[in-house]
Structure 1
Amino acid sequence: MGLFVGLDVGTQSVKLVAYDPDARQIVATAGQPLDLAAGDDGSREQRADWWVDAVRVCFSRIDPAVRARVVAIGVSGQQHGFVPLDRSGSVLAPAKLWNDTSTTAECDEIMDAVGGPARCIELAGNPILAGYTASKLPWTRKHRSQAYARMATILLPHDYINYWLTGELWMEHGDASGTGWLDVRRRDWSPEMLAATDPDRDLRECLPPLVPADHLAKIRPALADELGLPHSVRVSAGGGDNMMAAIGTGNVVPGVLSMSLGTSGTIFTYADRAVVDDQGRWAAFCDSTGGWLPLICTMNCTVATESVARLCGFSTRDGDALLANTRPGADGLLMLPFLNGERTPDLPHGRGSLFGMTATNLSRANLYRAAMEGAMYSLKYGYDGLVDAGLRFEAVRLTGGGSQSAVWRQMAADMFGLPVDVPEQAEGAAFGAALQAMWAVERASGGDADLSALAAAHVQPDPRLSAQPHAEATSAYQAHYQRFLTHLDAIRPLYAD
């Protein structure tokens, strides 16, 4: 069948996996770190050419014989980023990213223009939260007016890589959901939300066409030659990293809960209908298979543990060993790890807080555990909303960098009271992109490929990495989580503006 490549253009790095579906194994991987431009105002930006250069490096590290066998490429990308192009297709400004909180005021401006958050949910299914693409446009109009005036096309990060690969412009419904403009119920743009973002311009003229999840396009021949790929290579629709991670963890049927522990933390599940919350407690997104993906996102996950490790002078690779003699609750130390502001809970102006310090519990190990627990409590806060809505789950499928930690895995099992599985393919987003490309090629070849069956065949758990909940720890975490909620209520007024 040949090989299928998944590219994941993340915040910290670009990752490439080449998957052989006949052998059921990854035959090659490559990665390249990315820089991040961060400002005190909450801005988080990257240059689009950094992504392109990193993709080039990844392909250059793959054996030419492997590259020659590639059939198709799927691209996963960090959600919500804003890439403005001029009429010639040139990038006009650095891309503002998902974790950029400098546009919080613009979120409120857009929502006020349509009548508030509840009206946004009525119109499109989601409020405009910190980091969503919509708020980045009025910010750019104010602070980069020349770039905004020349803007002809609005792209998301994975859209831009698709454009670079193929020369064609498109969006798909999953990643488009994260703009704040897509009416997820109708799976089309909301004219009211677009007008609220810019009342003087028809932004729909700047948006590429929406394509189905099984869309395919040809790679540019000149680029195929540069990358050492066949001219016959196709590029699939791709999607946001969470949408691709859903495919890569087999979360394409109801009842599965995926949890991604990376720079951000996310939990999400498949639905065959739009699952919208009137209070906006979760993101009511579409997925990248033709369904929907109710999703919880936190902006501080491994960010918190990495910050503590850096402060205390050790590597996160040594974190599990450091925590060997700690217990749930970190001996009374509690962290609200809102280092980048926070989306869940909704505190875009929030900052990290540390509570319960004593002369005996303020150790490196307890501090590291408190960071890890705080990140998980934020995810639990969002999870409770999904459960309140009637969704039920039998197990957690874990992906992202945190999934490689035995302590993270056991903490997830204990805190959520569910068994935890980790797929054999650790790079869930990149692997999901490869599977989506394979599915699209099979459908284009005249087959009636079923994505759920394909995922069941190719997404297998690694039994060595499974974790079962311990009743005693689950009970202990219930009490510690209530303490987290109490402190959360206490600090909310401090960061209301």
Structure 2
Amino acid sequence: MSLVVGLDVGTQSVKLLAYDADAAQVAALHGQPLELVARDDGTREQEAQWWIEAIRACFARLDPALRARVTAIGVSGQQHGFVPLDAAGRVLAPVKLWCDTSTQRECDEIMQALGGESACVEAAGNPILAGYTASKLAWLRKHRPEAYRGLATVLLPHDYVNFWLTGERWMECGDASGTGWFDVRRRAWSPQVLRAIDPERDLGRCLPPLADAGATFPLAPAIADELGLPRTVRVSVGGGDNMMAAIGTGNVVPGRLTMSLGTSGTLFAFADRPVVDPQAGWAAFCASSDGWLPLICTMNCTVATELAARLFGLKAQDAEALLAQTAPGAGGVLLLPFFNGERTPNLPGGRGALFGLDPLNTAPANVYRAAMEGATYSLRHGYDAFVAAGLRFERICLTGGGSNSPAWRQMVADVFELPVEVPEQSEGAAFGAALQALWASQRARGGASLAELAQAHVRMRADRAAAPDPERAAAYRIHYRRFLRHLDAVRPLYAA
């Protein structure tokens, strides 16, 4: 009769998923939207308190009888966000998010101090890209010096939610590997990168201890009472949203590939060893388990389709219907969907660009298809780096909001020329957080391994599978090459 709760603190909303493991059913799913502060200089920020208020709202909607059955909570959070705390645990500044590109200068300065991008990869396994936490810490030092002087603890978004739930500060290797100052090979902090951020301060003192992937912590009694939960509830270490989505889609053994079509687009695969690319073609992250999670991220996925729909005043169902009127290639219309700048390819100063318009093809249907194709081609561009490194996959597990679109599922199958499957639980990050909490709470009693637990609970929907269509796949090969040519042509403009 017990329930585990997965909380997913995303960019657009907070979601609460209550899972009944005995019945293998989701007992409840609630969400609360979030605001976003966006400025022309690339700033993307939120207030940490907004997440807490949204979590309270989600629990308030959860039936009291269900709340009484909760035994464990796992937290998933948007990666890379920077939550600065003072010694008393107060947040010192707005939270700069993963999609914030205002810190590109700080990225360059940190890598220059280390000796260049290759030296950075050698020191920690990853370069310092716009969006990573390292540049945000350097930005705080430069632009908010008073907050920097009062800085006592650096937390990531999901770490901060854990801190609010338990009163304790910790990190785990999965989310920590997205900071830029975490050595993914050794699964430890990189003193070289920390010195490059600030050679005059021991930033290691601001970093919380690293917790074991299977550790749990007691829910603070005051928070239990406030949320109407039993005081016996345990909180697992949680992880970044991509790490939790890996668990939620069963991607916890080698050979699996997960694609998430959300605000950002991601591709990731489990590995039992560090997978570092000297050319930095992908992010060499750790998994929120005992493995690693090589990951490719694009910063503009459903962002592109939502903007196209808003441009023409389309509702989601209307936009989906319009796709049936178009063919691969969108009648010659092509979109580079870099509205928030881009990480893969690495163009933090990039912006969206629409090409190929003429009097016959300039129509809402073609522009909307071009947005969907552009977001998909960006992911394919990252996937090519995996393939070039010798990685091979037999199918794609698709998750995120975009996976609800039949047209997008088929497009992914055709562009990647791989069969696509969709898990029953569409909220992969929240579900993964719930499964991690379940695994961690059972671990002390000699429960199943994480891989065994994922195999038992992660199920696919037969009605949402998609297989590549040879004719469309051949057409997309041509249009994808056109996308790459346009990308090469505009690189110098974005670099400048």
User: For residues 218 and 451 of structure 2, what CA distance do their matches in structure 1 show?
Assistant: 26
Q: Partner of 1:379 in structure 2?
A: 379
Secondary structure at the aligned position of 2:242 is classed as: helix
| Paired amino acid for 1:484 | F
User: For residues 212 and 370 of structure 2, what CA distance do their matches in structure 1 show?
Assistant: 43
- Deviation, 1:464, is 0.9
Q: Partner of 2:110 in structure 1?
A: 110
- Deviation, 1:158, is 0.1
| Paired amino acid for 2:476 | Y
Check if 1:392 corresponds to 2:385: no
Q: Partner of 1:471 in structure 2?
A: 470
Asked whether the equivalents of residues 305 and 316 of structure 1 are also in contact (C-alpha less than 8 Å), the reply is no
- Deviation, 1:428, is 0.2
User: For residues 224 and 404 of structure 2, what CA distance do their matches in structure 1 show?
Assistant: 34
Secondary structure at the aligned position of 1:29 is classed as: strand
User: For residues 463 and 320 of structure 1, what CA distance do their matches in structure 2 show?
Assistant: 21
Q: Partner of 2:280 in structure 1?
A: 280
| Paired amino acid for 2:457 | H
Secondary structure at the aligned position of 1:230 is classed as: coil
- Deviation, 1:496, is 0.9
Check if 1:481 corresponds to 2:480: yes
- Deviation, 1:448, is 4.5
Q: Partner of 1:229 in structure 2?
A: 229
| Paired amino acid for 1:473 | R
Secondary structure at the aligned position of 1:211 is classed as: coil
| Paired amino acid for 1:220 | A
Please list the CA deviations of residues 32-62 of structure 1 after superposition, one character each: whole Å capped at 9, or x if unmatched: 0000001110000000000000000000000
Please list the CA deviations of residues 215-267 of structure 1 after superposition, one character each: whole Å capped at 9, or x if unmatched: 10000001101101000000000000000000000000111110000100000
Q: Per the alignment, do residues 444 and 318 of structure 1 end up closer, same or farther by CA in structure 2, a change over 3 Å counting?
A: farther
Secondary structure at the aligned position of 1:468 is classed as: coil
Structure 2 matches for 1:186-335, cutoff 5 A?
A: 186-335=186-335
- Deviation, 1:317, is 3.5
| Paired amino acid for 1:388 | A
Asked whether the equivalents of residues 377 and 481 of structure 1 are also in contact (C-alpha less than 8 Å), the reply is yes
| Paired amino acid for 2:238 | G
User: For residues 494 and 459 of structure 2, what CA distance do their matches in structure 1 show?
Assistant: 43
- Deviation, 1:495, is 1.1
User: For residues 159 and 389 of structure 1, what CA distance do their matches in structure 2 show?
Assistant: 33
| Paired amino acid for 2:443 | R
User: For residues 317 and 326 of structure 1, what CA distance do their matches in structure 2 show?
Assistant: 15
Asked whether the equivalents of residues 171 and 237 of structure 1 are also in contact (C-alpha less than 8 Å), the reply is yes
Check if 1:158 corresponds to 2:164: no
- Deviation, 1:316, is 2.4
User: For residues 162 and 441 of structure 1, what CA distance do their matches in structure 2 show?
Assistant: 16
| Paired amino acid for 1:422 | V
Segments ≥4 residues shifted beyond 3 Å? none
User: For residues 225 and 88 of structure 2, what CA distance do their matches in structure 1 show?
Assistant: 23
Root-mean-square deviation (CA, aligned residues, Å) is 0.7
- Deviation, 1:319, is 2.0
Secondary structure at the aligned position of 1:26 is classed as: strand
User: For residues 194 and 444 of structure 1, what CA distance do their matches in structure 2 show?
Assistant: 35
Provide TM-score, normalisation by structure 2.
Answer: 0.99
User: For residues 152 and 226 of structure 1, what CA distance do their matches in structure 2 show?
Assistant: 27
User: For residues 6 and 265 of structure 1, what CA distance do their matches in structure 2 show?
Assistant: 21
Q: Partner of 1:176 in structure 2?
A: 176
User: For residues 472 and 212 of structure 1, what CA distance do their matches in structure 2 show?
Assistant: 49
Q: Partner of 1:357 in structure 2?
A: 357
| Paired amino acid for 1:456 | Q
Q: Partner of 1:6 in structure 2?
A: 6
Secondary structure at the aligned position of 1:210 is classed as: coil
User: For residues 240 and 462 of structure 2, what CA distance do their matches in structure 1 show?
Assistant: 28
User: For residues 50 and 339 of structure 1, what CA distance do their matches in structure 2 show?
Assistant: 25
| Paired amino acid for 2:471 | E
| Paired amino acid for 2:473 | T
Q: Partner of 1:60 in structure 2?
A: 60
Asked whether the equivalents of residues 439 and 447 of structure 2 are also in contact (C-alpha less than 8 Å), the reply is no
User: For residues 255 and 363 of structure 1, what CA distance do their matches in structure 2 show?
Assistant: 41
- Deviation, 1:318, is 2.6
What are the ranges of 5 or more consecutive residues in structure 2 without an aligned counterpart? Answer: none
Asked whether the equivalents of residues 4 and 438 of structure 1 are also in contact (C-alpha less than 8 Å), the reply is yes
| Paired amino acid for 2:158 | H
User: For residues 172 and 317 of structure 2, what CA distance do their matches in structure 1 show?
Assistant: 37
User: For residues 319 and 451 of structure 1, what CA distance do their matches in structure 2 show?
Assistant: 39
Structure 2 matches for 1:119-130, cutoff 5 A?
A: 119-130=119-130
Question: What percentage of residue pairs aligned between the two structures are identical?
Answer: 69
User: For residues 22 and 318 of structure 1, what CA distance do their matches in structure 2 show?
Assistant: 39
Q: Partner of 2:429 in structure 1?
A: 429
Structure 2 matches for 1:431-470, cutoff 5 A?
A: 431-445=431-445, 447-470=446-469
- Deviation, 1:171, is 0.2
| Paired amino acid for 1:482 | R
| Paired amino acid for 2:396 | V
